[in-house]
Structure 1
């Protein structure tokens, strides 16, 4: 089993780390890099052999497409052909949210290998807001394909240590840039022109860029589509899952614990008024936003808290719902997928 190294880096002193990451990527290897959302498993997006290593390390099925990350808006033309009727909208969205956690689905160019897009004619594109990731892309001089740096279907990693637990011995290098500031994956959208009417922005995966923020640019529709054969990243019904079964209920009293089994609670803010804290003698309670109920904090802590509970040797995790407004839509999306039958 090959050794997986970790290089710790901060934004003031990253030259050596960037050089090592770029050297490996240029050789067709894969490297785990921090983004503002979750850690990504990076490969040269134009090197099909390198991209194949991403699928192999993650045990990801070839039918699930990857997101391609560009280091500047100019690089978009290398990976996507922007239709004229949505060109102005793409520029507006990029101006507002790039670099940042918004992924746009667009027709792909011939430069992008079919493996990256799972044979689809479209490519998912974004520009990361993480300076380490962007510097690696700029130094490499090529777009980077990078899904989350975890085994397929498992909890997304928001720290280098979480990547190590998932991929130790499977990849050569992890760049440790600290904890991710958003904590959940990017919002994924497709765009639809409507002539003289406002364009339609279809949210395929909810994320840090919310419906409310996108409404300034067009009519927003949140799609509920899930599929065993997705036509964009982020559409699988079961995903982001701990090994421990995760349970969700329409109301607290629907929970019926089985005798002798150990249960943990993933609580929103630890508030007894929500009906879950006093429902059962929990083995462990982990809170997303202790006391305050701030959705931004809850999103940031979601995958970390899921991972803590998953390592407690429980028979099941019960997840308390959060309000489905703003970032709460993305949090509930991840919880539902984690609770979906496997």
Structure 2
């Protein structure tokens, strides 16, 4: 696997990424940083490249991919141009692109079939990370890119995470440092009079509603793991974001959360437990709390996947997590925690 180290201090140039772009054009796989998580990129127009993505990730064949483009001039390559865009969708593009918002748009027939299996729509976004934008510009083709990890595991937020999962399975990775957001993009479908969020993310329901001036709701009756439905968006149907350790989440009254965590620590081998909380558990178990001056929700959103991977490396068997209110950015965080915990979520 080739690794291209790109310094944040240098001036970003497309030619710096010419080798990686050439690999993408020729149906190879390149992982690259975005502001959310690292993506595993392949040419979205070529089925051969798309099938390689599914094989490397061991990803279920009906789980759709998000297509990344360098700018709106590439929309014609990924979107059915005969379908008129709602005005609210244009507003969303103007306000949130580049950025962590994926829009479900009518798919262009030129896209590889595996990108949006059995679906009329395809997820499209313009990432904000400068390395991603320069790579997409140099490649000159739309790039399908799910998170660059084995399916089901926590998403990668550093190049080292990608190498841990993908070494020997892909052609290379662009190392652009740690991701600044840390959770996957919001996925939304926008209509004339309302919008539907299929995966919560950094662009919250409240922010979207304020920007678009139409009602924004979360999708209901999401495809379950045992249903025959094709998921409308990544992150809906299958096991996601889960480490080897068992994740346990409590939310509600902070005092009761503390009581539940202490009971668990007393009942199990403390050497095999890690705690993620606003409170300081130093000296009792492995633990993390937000840095001084940072909010718990903001810091944990950025650090969650890194922590889950790090605790796995340390041999932790149980990760105890203080949950958060299911509003604003907390909705995205609780969505990921709920999937990582695989049902071990309790209100107290």
Structure 1: which 5+ runs fail to align?
A: 194-198, 272-276
Q: Deviations over 1:112-164 (max 9, x none)?
A: 12111123121011111112111221222110000000000101011111111
Matched, 1:206 2:197: no
Contact 1:105 1:190 (C-alpha < 8 Å) held by counterparts: yes
Structure 2: distance between partners of 1:259 and 1:23: 52
Structure 1: distance between partners of 2:326 and 2:278: 15
Structure 2: distance between partners of 1:19 and 1:211: 38
In structure 1, the residue matched to 2:241 is: 240
The Cα RMSD (Å) is 2.3
Matched, 1:223 2:219: yes
Contact 1:287 1:305 (C-alpha < 8 Å) held by counterparts: no
Match for 1:9 among 6, 10, 32?
Answer: 6
Contact 1:68 1:144 (C-alpha < 8 Å) held by counterparts: yes
TM-score (norm 2): 0.87
In the TM superposition, what are the counterparts of 1:103-182 in structure 2 within 5 Å?
A: 103-182=102-181
In structure 2, the residue matched to 1:287 is: 289
In structure 1, the residue matched to 2:18 is: 19
TM-score (norm 1): 0.88
Q: Moved runs in structure 1, 4+ residues, more than 3 A?
A: 13-17, 82-86, 253-263, 288-292
Q: Deviations over 1:167-212 (max 9, x none)?
A: 111112110011111111000001233xxxxx21111111110112
Distance 1:174 1:51, change over 3 A: same
- Residue 72 of structure 1 deviates from its aligned partner by 1.1
Secondary structure at the aligned position of 1:249 is classed as strand
- Residue 39 of structure 1 deviates from its aligned partner by 0.4
Contact 1:150 1:167 (C-alpha < 8 Å) held by counterparts: yes
In structure 1, the residue matched to 2:250 is: 249
- Residue 100 of structure 1 deviates from its aligned partner by 0.5
- Residue 340 of structure 1 deviates from its aligned partner by 1.0
Secondary structure at the aligned position of 1:324 is classed as coil
Structure 1: distance between partners of 2:3 and 2:310: 21
- Residue 260 of structure 1 deviates from its aligned partner by 4.1
Distance 1:212 1:341, change over 3 A: closer
- Residue 52 of structure 1 deviates from its aligned partner by 0.8
Secondary structure at the aligned position of 2:86 is classed as helix
Contact 1:289 1:295 (C-alpha < 8 Å) held by counterparts: no
In structure 1, the residue matched to 2:182 is: 183
Match for 2:278 among 259, 269, 277?
Answer: 269
Structure 2: distance between partners of 1:124 and 1:117: 8
In structure 1, the residue matched to 2:337 is: 335
Contact 1:270 1:290 (C-alpha < 8 Å) held by counterparts: no
Matched, 1:303 2:295: no
Secondary structure at the aligned position of 1:77 is classed as helix
Structure 2: distance between partners of 1:77 and 1:234: 26
Instruction: Identify the range of structure 1 (242-251 vs 164-173) with the bigger mean alpha-carbon deviation.
Output: 242-251
